[in-house]
Amino acid sequence: MTKPVIWITGASSGIGAATAQKFSKEGFAVILSSRNEGDLEAVKNSCAHPEACAILPLDLADSDSLQGKAAKAISLFGHVDLMFHNGGISQRSLAIETQMEVDRKIMEVNFFGTIALTKAILPHFQQRKSGHFAVTSSLVGIIGSPYRSTYAASKHALHGYFDSLRAEHAIDNVVVTMICPGFIKTNVSVNALTADGKSLNQMDDAQANGMSAEKCATKIYQGIKSKKEEIYIGGKEVMAIYLKRFFPGIFSKILLKAKVR
């Protein structure tokens, strides 16, 4: 029996690596992608079935290369069932201080790179009349918070794009699941860009005390299996979504007082 195939970007660490391990354990063939081939090799060896894992390095900032990467991914196992867009970069800087080239880099990686890869794999899904996009957004893809202006913008953009795509390709049995994590214990804040484009190189306290990547991966697997349109993952910070939705004025006042960095 042919294994279902998941292709994961941002698979070299954190949520991507934990999700690769979870889906491998659940019987999926896994295609691992990120810029760091050495780290991908380590993730492959940590999976339950490394013989059913393949490494495909890519750079989301190099949009012109992604059509070829999609063709290669399809050739590895003959098909792709699930495209997990997890690659991206975060931000820790005030909007007024952030250089435009940093804003552009965040949008290029988080939005345009993801969209280019989507356009590259979508005809394959359309031809097969089957396919699933899972997209790592963030709670700030629904609510904005200080020091994350362009990061939030890139995630908001993903919601708009994939909500439209879901409606356009329901006829092709293409499913879209937006994944909105809160504070997950990964290096996302360590690698976040500051105002001049340098990495923050330190972990936020909220991140350090957040949910484990492994628990997050289990919730991602369950949400994808259930074909949910959106899943919210985290602790009490998830309540901010509902506060923003139903009591926006109160949420804004809380956000003004919050010490979020």
Residues ≥6 apart with Cβ < 8 Å to 30? 5, 6, 7, 8, 11, 20, 23, 24, 44, 47, 52, 53, 54
What is the per-residue pLDDT for 203? 82
d(CA 110, CA 79): 25
What is the per-residue pLDDT for 69? 98
Residue by residue, pLDDT tens for the chain (261 residues) are 689 999 999 999 999 999 999 999 999 999 999 999 999 999 999 999 999 999 999 999 999 999 999 999 999 999 999 999 999 999 999 999 999 999 999 999 999 999 999 999 999 999 999 999 999 999 999 999 999 999 999 999 999 999 999 999 999 999 999 999 999 999 888 899 999 999 998 887 888 889 999 999 999 999 999 999 999 999 999 999 999 999 999 999 988 877 555
User: Of 77, 85, 70, 86, which is closest to residue 29 (Cα–Cα)?
Assistant: 77
Domain boundaries, the chain: 5-257
Fold of 5-257: Rossmann fold (3.40.50)
Out of 147, 151, 221, 232, which one is annotated catalytic?
151
Residues ≥6 apart with Cβ < 8 Å to 74? 80, 121, 124
What is the per-residue pLDDT for 206? 80
pTM: 0.95
Residue 151 designated active-site: yes
What is the per-residue pLDDT for 220? 98
What is the per-residue pLDDT for 209? 85
